[in-house]
Amino acid sequence: MLLQNKVALITGSGRGIGRAIAKLFAAEGAAVFLTARTETELSATANEITAGGGRTMFQVADLSLAKDCRTIAKSAEEKFGRVDILVNNAGHYGPVLPVEEYPLEEFEKVLAVHLRAAFLLSQLVLPGMYARNSGVILNVSSISAKAAFGWGSAYAAAKAGMIGLTRVNAAEAARKGVRVNAICPGPVTETIMSRELGAELAKKLNVSKEDQLAGFLETILQGRGQSADEIASAALFLCSDHASAITGQAINVDGGAVYF
C-alpha cells in the first residue's frame, strides 16, 4: 500500500474528485479526514470508506471562511494526531460571466475557497510537517489556469494563483522534507461542478449540452474527458513516495489539452 500509516486531510471530499481521492487514499492505507459543507455527502463517503475497511472521520466546514479552515486543520491534527498529506481540492466554479459583469462579491468567494483556503490550510499544517521533516501538499488547480476560456475570471485567477502558491511553498519547503505540487485536471465530466458549468455554457452559446460537451472534448488529444478516478490516481502518485523527486510542479491530467 502506497500510503500506509499516513494521515491525509482532503477538502471537498463529499463528492466528485475529492471523494475519489479520499476513497483511493483510504484504500492505500491512509487515514482520511474529510470536509465539505454538505453533511449527507460527507457521511456517505465516510460510510463507503469504513465499509471498505478504511479509517476516516469527517467534519462540516465552509472553507471560504478563515475560521472554518482553522477549525478543520486543528480537528484533523487532534483526531488523527498529525497531517502528513494535505489535498486542497474544495471549490466551486462561480458565475459564468464576462469580466465586466462579474460581481465582486462572487469573485472574492471563488478566490476564498480555492486560493485563500489552500494558503491558510497549508500555513496551518506546515509547522507539523516541518517538525517531522516530512509531508506532502497537493493543490487541485485546473487547465483553466493555463488555457484561455472565457466567462470564468475568478476561477482561472484562483487556479493560477494556486500554481503560484505551489511554487513558492515548494521552494520554501523542499529542504524541510515537504513536497508541494499542483494537479491540473481537464474536464471531469461526471462531477456536479462540471455538469453545471456545461449546462451554463450551452445556454450561453445557444447549443445543446451534448453539442457543447462534444465540441470541447474534440479539442483534447484523447477526445474525451477524464474520470474522477483518473485524477485520483495521479493524486495518489504525487502524494506517494513514488513521486519523491517531484516538487513545485503543476501537472496536467487532461488527456492532452494544454502543454505547459
Active site residue ranges: 155
To the nearest whole angstrom, how small is the minimum distance from the Cβ of residue 51 to ligand NAP?
19
To the nearest whole angstrom, how small is the minimum distance from the Cβ of residue 208 to ligand NAP?
19
Q: Which is nearer to ligand NAP, 132 or 203 (CB)?
A: 203
Q: Which is nearer to ligand NAP, 16 or 54 (CB)?
A: 16
One-character DSSP codes across the chain? -TTTT-EEEEES-SSHHHHHHHHHHHHTT-EEEEEES-HHHHHHHHHHHHHTT-EEEEEE--TTSHHHHHHHHHHHHHHHS--SEEEE--------B-GGG--HHHHHHHHIIIIIHHHHHHHHHHHHHHHHT-EEEEEE--GGGTS--SSBHHHHHHHHHHHHHHHHHHHHHGGGTEEEEEEEE---TTSHHHHHHHHHHHHHHTS-HHHHHHHHHHTSTTSS---HHHHHHHHHHHHSGGGTT--S-EEEESSS----
Nearest-5° Cα angle at 214, 196 to 211: 75
To the nearest whole angstrom, how small is the minimum distance from the Cβ of residue 4 to ligand NAP?
26
Question: Which positions touch ligand NAP (CB under 6 A)?
Answer: 12, 14-18, 36-38, 41, 61-64, 89-92, 113, 140, 142, 185, 187-188, 191-194
Residue nearest to ligand NAP (CB): 16
To the nearest whole angstrom, how small is the minimum distance from the Cβ of residue 90 to ligand NAP?
4
**Contact (Cβ atoms closer than 8 angstroms) between residue 147 and residue 137:** no
To the nearest whole angstrom, how small is the minimum distance from the Cβ of residue 206 to ligand NAP?
22
Q: Which is nearer to ligand NAP, 171 or 192 (CB)?
A: 192
Rounded to the nearest 10 degrees, what angle do helices 153-173 and 104-111 cross at?
30
Q: Which is nearer to ligand NAP, 1 or 38 (CB)?
A: 38
Q: Which is nearer to ligand NAP, 62 or 77 (CB)?
A: 62
Question: With the CA atoms of 22, 25, 28 and 32 taken in that order, what torsion angle do they form, in degrees rounded to the nearest 10?
Answer: -70
